Structure 1
Amino acid sequence: MSHATPTRPAGSSVPRPGGPAAEPAAAPRPGRLEGALGTRSVVLMVLAAAAPLTVVGGSAPLGIAIGNGAAFPAAFAVCAAVLLLFAAGFAAMSRHVAEAGSFYSYVERGLGRAPGLGAAMLALVSYTAIQVSLYGFAGEATRMLVVDHGGPDFAWWLWAAAMLAVAGLFGFRHIELSGRVLGLLLIAEIGIVLALDAAVLLRGGEGGMSTAFARPDEFASGSPGIGIMFAIAGFIGFEATAVFRDEARDPHRTVPRATYLSLILIGVFYTVSAWAVVSAWGDRNAVERARTSPETLTADTAARYLGSWSDDAVQILMVTSMFAALLAFHNVLARYMFALGNDGVLPRALGRRHGRHGSPYAASLVQSATAAILVGACAAAGLEPIAEVFTWLGGVATLGVMLLMVLTCAAVIRFFRRTRADTRLWHTLAAPLLGLAGLLVLLIPVVANFPTLVGGSETRATVIEVVLGAAFVIGAVLSRVKPLERP
């Protein structure tokens, strides 16, 4: 996976001042992907994974309905602030981690190989869960859209299978093709939400713009823990900036810039958009409408402020938003498998790079097959695609990724305390410590309300927690039986 000199000691920092420019262009580095992605392209990948319209149209209404009501938009701001603290250490350490394994590489470098492989397995489970959850939502949303417009009523999993095939095709090709497609889809979905935000701001909302999000008593009302839970789920994927470091034009600059820019854009977009939706109806009416029809709240708001045409537009763009997200996570998962294949943890065949497209094609094909099996299993079990597949597996991913962020914060702190590779106090100690504390505070309500996130079953919540713990343990055990084979 990484390219280093033969004398590089395990666990040491890799400044790589010359970087890939020192190598002939015609001789790609073994075990590495190649590309020239700039900050904008990586940010587009991350924003697509965040699925802005899906969050504004799906998670935000649920946060308003069963979280802390009209003050819910502030939950996005709180989560963004905590994650920016996390990002300070994450970005600082990106200059000293040559591998494109994100959580896996960071935790391994900071805490050791056993926790690193534990994080790798936990990441695979978490990202697989969120991708399959998106197939459930996207399949059902497509089915309803087609039926509403007089088309055939095919099962949700057939639409999911079609999307899976298209995502697999893009994953097989060079990453820049995915980047262009994601950029087009992202512009469309963000554009309509910004138009809605502007319309509400210009007209002033129902009785003026809401101030509930700025009042601490309102934020603490209802179930703020559940509100935080839905808000933090909307940020999953921002950390994937490091996964694309091998394909970045200048990873030392691109990864930190893309991480900060993604978080700021996502945080502001979510906060303002959720605030606009609440203001559009007024505090009390917004909560009532969110409770009675959360799935149509954003579309109804668009129809009210932009015209009837926007209702169909939101439905269509909701589908494309979810497709963009599942394509982004397909690329992330393929690169995790590629990295683990090159390290000898997973079969070495997964570390193959396509000779023409330069893509992790073997890992992409396996990832497609894994997703197909899991989607098929959900369909065979008769699970409801949104209330069960999307909600339950989304809960798995939320808890898993938060645990990975906690581990990464600890890894950043230990790495810089041990190596002194960077002496900036804020970036290497203060911000990571504050980020760790903030993540632990956010994690408490997520764990406490986890049964709610997975359908209200204590038994199901316990089983999922055991599965996540088992994934980490399996990874740690693999570190003992799988020697490091990184070139």
Structure 2
Amino acid sequence: MTDRTHTLSGSLGVGSIVFMVVAAAAPLTVIAGTVPLGIAIGNGAAFPATFALCAAVLMLFAVGFCAMSPHVPNAGAFYTYVERGLGRIAGLGTAFLALATYTAVQLAVYGYIGAVIDGLVQHYGGPALPWWLWSVLVLAVVAVLGYRRIELSSRVLGVLLVCEVAIVLVFDVVVAGSGGAEGPSTALLVPSQIGSGSLGIALMFAVASFIGFEATAVFRDEARDPGRTIPRATYLALLLIGAFYTLSGWAVVTAWGDAGAVTAAGADPGGMLLTTIANYLGAAGGDIAQVLLVTSMFAAILSFHNVLSRYIFALGGSGALPAACGRSHVRHGSPHIGSFAQSVSALVLIAVFALAGMDPVAQVFAWMAGTATLGVLALMALTCLAVVVFFRRSRVDARPWQTQIAPGLGLVGLLVFLWLTITNFPTLIGGSTGLAIGIGAVLVVFFVAGALWARLRRDAVVPVPPAATTAA
């Protein structure tokens, strides 16, 4: 009969939260997958500059996000911000949209990691097995870590993140020291080259690479000092991700030369980074990078699992989902029921994909990653709008830059990114306009379902007092 059953516990500092959100961004996976694609079908050798552009817009978003953080005591991130600024109906619609978006992120990486592990096992002489077997094995490990206290996940993510970042930074230093194929690339500094090719597709790929940085607020209840920890972690995570992507993307281009990078990316986008690392760090470096690519994706899955579990926990505690979802484990202080629920849902969806015979990369990864990109941009745009409306109505903070100017500019930038994503969405998911419309409709249905549920459940999205129920 204690408040502990409805409270998450932990003592996460800035570093621990940064580890989790940067791990969710999967830095090595981005450099291995997104950078070659951005070079090949985006704006060529200038693609690394789009990371800096996206980081600038997202920093504007972060200013308003952090300014409003002290006025949003609940750990629901996007949906609690939208509820405070735009009302409970829009808030619960946003919550359901977030559940769909982050589920899509996880499923995308589950498909990708299954295929990569299978390729890695065969590379070292192992048997060829269905991709979904490896995905289910990863899911089981993630489920165990998600059930336990958050510090365990934080330590695991910290180790994996340091390893994947280290191999790329070593590569960056070696390339910079050698001068690359033709000397340091300057394409990312030339406006005409930045705007060449398809800048819209390039920005779409770049902004998708930042998915996860905004999840700092989800760990509010487990932060050591939420008022300071969450804003600091948000800014630091965004700066680190943006700088790492820009630097490492530049190193990949420099390693081949501007024209050579475009040719290499077009010929073999999936293997470009591993080939490049092997060229500069030797065969052993390539093998290490291939293994770390798997751990990078595992870290991303674990991070998003933790985010989803806490979304479910917050919704259970607010009355939007069954009350059991809002209970925490009495010993681990974790959202164990939310963790179990989303592990089961992921398992069911992986089974559906497997029975449908879907390709783990061309279909599962591409379709789900496209869904997540569209969803997270909509979530951030709604949150920016909520920040502007909240401060204009409440007048609890009179600082114009933090409460109106920065979030307003961020909203404009995010709407441009959203428009570019919608325009180029068929390209992102394989060229099917019908499929693009279908995926967009699914996200709209989730938002509308949440809004309708808020109208039916008048007590939803309103914090409830701790129930007299003990978690198992």
TM-score class, shorter-chain normalisation, is: over 0.9
Q: Assess if the C-alpha contact under 8 Å between 1:170 and 1:178 holds in 2.
A: yes
Partner residue in 1 for 2:109: 134
Partner residue in 1 for 2:28: 53
Q: Percent identity?
A: 58
Distance in 1 separating the partners of 2:432 and 2:132: 25
Q: Assess if the C-alpha contact under 8 Å between 2:5 and 2:327 holds in 1.
A: no
Displacement of 1:30:
5.6
The AA in structure 1 aligned to 2:329 is H
Structure 1 residues not aligned, in runs of 5+: 1-25
Is residue 486 of structure 1 aligned with residue 424 of structure 2?
Answer: no
Local SS of the residue matching 2:6: coil
Distance in 1 separating the partners of 2:67 and 2:414: 18
| Residue correspondence of structure 1 range 345-424 to structure 2 within 5 A | 345-424=320-399
The AA in structure 1 aligned to 2:238 is L
| Residue correspondence of structure 1 range 304-315 to structure 2 within 5 A | 304-315=279-290
Is residue 287 of structure 1 aligned with residue 262 of structure 2?
Answer: yes
Q: Assess if the C-alpha contact under 8 Å between 1:82 and 1:438 holds in 2.
A: yes
Deviations 1:243-285 (CA, angstroms, capped at 9, x unpaired): 0000000000011000000000000000000010001000111
Is residue 100 of structure 1 aligned with residue 85 of structure 2?
Answer: no
Q: CA RMSD in A?
A: 1.0
- Pick which of 27-36 and 277-286 moved more: 27-36
Structure 2 residues not aligned, in runs of 5+: 465-472
| Residue correspondence of structure 1 range 150-165 to structure 2 within 5 A | 150-165=125-140
Distance in 2 separating the partners of 1:270 and 1:232: 11
Deviations 1:199-248 (CA, angstroms, capped at 9, x unpaired): 01000111111111111111111111111111001000001000000000
Deviations 1:163-212 (CA, angstroms, capped at 9, x unpaired): 00000000000000000000000000000000000001000111111111
Partner residue in 2 for 1:342: 317
Partner residue in 1 for 2:11: 36
Partner residue in 1 for 2:186: 211
The AA in structure 1 aligned to 2:68 is M
Deviations 1:458-483 (CA, angstroms, capped at 9, x unpaired): 00000011111111111111111112
Local SS of the residue matching 2:271: helix
Partner residue in 2 for 1:318: 293
Displacement of 1:29:
5.1
The AA in structure 1 aligned to 2:453 is L
Displacement of 1:32:
2.3
Q: Assess if the C-alpha contact under 8 Å between 1:28 and 1:34 holds in 2.
A: no
Q: Assess if the C-alpha contact under 8 Å between 2:4 and 2:333 holds in 1.
A: no
Deviations 1:284-309 (CA, angstroms, capped at 9, x unpaired): 11011101101111111111111111
Q: 1:444 is matched with which residue: 408, 419, 438?
A: 419
| Residue correspondence of structure 1 range 2-17 to structure 2 within 5 A | none
The AA in structure 2 aligned to 1:360 is P
The AA in structure 2 aligned to 1:73 is P
Distance in 1 separating the partners of 2:300 and 2:3: 29
Local SS of the residue matching 2:285: helix
Local SS of the residue matching 1:307: helix
Partner residue in 1 for 2:157: 182
The AA in structure 1 aligned to 2:183 is G
Is residue 231 of structure 1 aligned with residue 206 of structure 2?
Answer: yes
Displacement of 1:61:
0.7
Deviations 1:427-460 (CA, angstroms, capped at 9, x unpaired): 1011001101111122221110001111100000
Distance in 1 separating the partners of 2:76 and 2:441: 24
Partner residue in 2 for 1:20: none
Q: 1:425 is matched with which residue: 388, 395, 400?
A: 400
Q: Assess if the C-alpha contact under 8 Å between 2:4 and 2:330 holds in 1.
A: no
Is residue 456 of structure 1 aligned with residue 431 of structure 2?
Answer: yes
Distance in 2 separating the partners of 1:204 and 1:285: 14
Displacement of 1:352:
1.3
Q: Assess if the C-alpha contact under 8 Å between 1:33 and 1:358 holds in 2.
A: yes
Partner residue in 1 for 2:96: 121
Partner residue in 2 for 1:264: 239
Displacement of 1:28:
4.8
Displacement of 1:27:
6.5
Distance in 1 separating the partners of 2:18 and 2:24: 10
Name segments (4+ residues, structure 1) moved above 2 Å: 26-32
The AA in structure 2 aligned to 1:232 is V
